[in-house]
Structure 1
Amino acid sequence: MSYAGRLQLIKSVLSTLHTYWASVFILPKGVLKNLEKKMRTFLWQGQSGRGNAKVAWAQICKPKAEGGLGISSLITMNQALILKQLWRLLQNDGTSIWVDWVQQYRLRHSTFWTFNRTTGSWSWKKMLKLRPLLQRGVVYKVGDGSSFSLWQDIWHERGPLCLSYPRGPAVTGLPLSSTLSSVLQGNQWCWPASTDTDIVEIISQLPPTQPSAADRICWISNSGQYTLQSAKLLIQPTNPRVHWHGLLQGPLVFPMLVFKTLLDHFEEQGQVPMAICRLEAGHYLGKQKMACNIVVSGIHLKQSLGRRPNADNGSRTPFKLTS
């Protein structure tokens, strides 16, 4: 099987076999790393058992726009799938038996953000450790204030106020169970008068309200709803886009061939990828004249990329990857 065939098999089959379990449990990292090791070996060696990895697995797992091959990291995928379950827990719309059970028997009178009891399964404790990551992905939009906890939800930029300001309930006279509506009158905030510096700071950072609407918890995606892709981008650190990423995409491109050719070529010091064809604009493939608009061979591609950044060759024809 070719490199391209093994790459496609990894993307469509091998990297998805664990999806069900990854959406239910946070799997041990040792297990996921062992699975990735087997996929890496299969990609570079196939069934022959010969050959070495050409590039680090972390590089391969980057998106194509960042110079990778777009294979999803199993650890990243596991976390993204669990974030989906936690997102449903925050929504609490009555469509999940698991969410109903957690609300009734785990959280009870606290919220997911302030739950601090040490009881629970190993998997539940691992989920709690994802709270900082989940907090980066959700936005609390204040409406009439009837659904959000005043002290325990993250509607304020300081996070749960009962954690950043434990004396709050005693100072203000508002119990821990208070909802946000207790300090809202119409579209105006009505906090108890106080000279406490923390209260003054909280009031100075209050978000806008929409009293005619219900409270909403939104995801950071454009639609406001959770998507797996946006969660993966949240987890995975972003890297600068490479200007040659177009070489890895398109209906007539063999990504693995291009990727390997680029890796081999970049080992030469001082060489950078340039989207300029170094061959003549009208080369021939049999009787069909081509305008350098497809990758014909690895040799052609290497010659196309062999131009140094300060070379002046304006007469060359741009190397395009569109049919």
Structure 2
Amino acid sequence: MPCWVTPFPIKYLGLPLSTKKIPKAHLQPLVDKVAAKLPLWQGPLMPRSSRLVLIKSVLASLPIYALMAEKLPPWVIEEINSIYRRFFWAGGDTDIRGKCMVNWTLVCSPKEFGGLGVLDFKLAGFALRVIWLWMQRTAEDLAWSELKLASESEIQAFFDVSVVVMVGKGTRTLFWMDRWIDGKSISEIAPAVNEAGPVDNGVESESAESRKENSRKPTKWTH
């Protein structure tokens, strides 16, 4: 079969893929796709409650696929939020100065906190990408579960403090970093020991830096 060799960046499974920072031109189609879904000629005729339903049920779902796969640059999220703001407050792609009743951050807050429950894309992307770490630890049959995932430091930290490990066979338990001792990790219970590293006959066998790196890989440990 004929095949083509093309340089990065490329599009793979509908998403831009690159070995370096993804150019703006390759992310702009996502913003344009959201804007194209707006019924601009109907927007001014719709009550604000109907615009809210359209944003939450249709428009907010468009970036989900991209948010789950990669961390979108701040300018992409701001562009999408700007489209939603203009549509919600003014009904179309028009100037909204003097029409915004509250800050958009409040609009994106849950209803129990006084907001309207519009999806916050920064937090949504954060939550969606944490799922990959969860699947890696719980779905052993996945072909990529043994590979090291490249995740942002804040996502890894959020996962570490949110998950409590119940040790079974121990083959996928991270001895130093997992919270397997009454909901706490060794690094929390004995930080001095954690910083010193494993000791064998009084000799430090592994540095704290290398142990922190290696602890992300599943290690065998039996109880």
Tell me which interval the TM-score lies in, with the shorter structure as reference length: 0.5 to 0.7
Higher relative contact order (CA 8 A, sep 6+): 1
Name the SS for the 2:119 alignment partner: coil
Per the alignment, residue 84 of structure 1 pairs with 131
Name the SS for the 1:88 alignment partner: helix
**Among 167, 170, 183, the residue aligned to 2:197:** 167
In 1, Cα distance between equivalents of 2:137 and 2:202: 27
Where does structure 1 lack aligned partners over 5 or more consecutive residues?
107-111, 113-123, 185-323
Pairing 1:141–2:141 present = no
Pairing 1:58–2:119 present = no
Amino acid at match of 1:38: I
In 2, Cα distance between equivalents of 1:91 and 1:7: 37
Per the alignment, residue 31 of structure 1 pairs with 76
Name the SS for the 1:49 alignment partner: coil
Partner deviation per Cα, 1:145-198 (whole Å, 9 max, x = no partner): 3442333534342455898333324357897797442xx4xxxxxxxxxxxxxx
In 1, Cα distance between equivalents of 2:177 and 2:158: 17
Does structure 2 retain, via aligned residues, the 8 Å contact 1:6–1:43? yes
Does structure 1 retain, via aligned residues, the 8 Å contact 2:167–2:180? yes
Pair 50,165 (structure 1): closer, same or farther in 2 beyond 3 Å: closer
Pair 47,82 (structure 1): closer, same or farther in 2 beyond 3 Å: same
In 1, Cα distance between equivalents of 2:76 and 2:93: 24
In 2, Cα distance between equivalents of 1:47 and 1:152: 50
Q: TM-score, with normalisation over the residues of structure 1?
A: 0.43
CA RMSD of aligned residues (A): 3.1
Per the alignment, residue 94 of structure 2 pairs with 49
1:31 Cα deviation after fit: 0.9
For 1:95-134, what aligned pairs fall within 5 Å after superposition? 96-97=142-143, 99-100=144-145, 103-104=146-147, 106=148, 124=150, 126-134=151-159
Does structure 2 retain, via aligned residues, the 8 Å contact 1:158–1:164? no
Greater percentage in helix: 2
In 2, Cα distance between equivalents of 1:172 and 1:11: 60
1:38 Cα deviation after fit: 1.4
In 2, Cα distance between equivalents of 1:41 and 1:171: 67
Pair 146,78 (structure 1): closer, same or farther in 2 beyond 3 Å: closer
Pair 144,50 (structure 1): closer, same or farther in 2 beyond 3 Å: closer
Does structure 2 retain, via aligned residues, the 8 Å contact 1:41–1:53? no
In 2, Cα distance between equivalents of 1:151 and 1:3: 52
Instruction: Report how many residues are paired.
Output: 160
In 2, Cα distance between equivalents of 1:139 and 1:30: 35
Identity of aligned residues (%): 25
Pair 29,66 (structure 1): closer, same or farther in 2 beyond 3 Å: same
Does structure 1 retain, via aligned residues, the 8 Å contact 2:86–2:92? no
Which structure would you say has the larger Rg? 1
Per the alignment, residue 21 of structure 1 pairs with 66
Where does structure 2 lack aligned partners over 5 or more consecutive residues?
1-45, 207-214
1:87 Cα deviation after fit: 0.8
Pairing 1:10–2:40 present = no
Name the SS for the 1:5 alignment partner: helix
In 2, Cα distance between equivalents of 1:50 and 1:174: 64
Pair 170,29 (structure 1): closer, same or farther in 2 beyond 3 Å: farther
Does structure 1 retain, via aligned residues, the 8 Å contact 2:164–2:180? yes
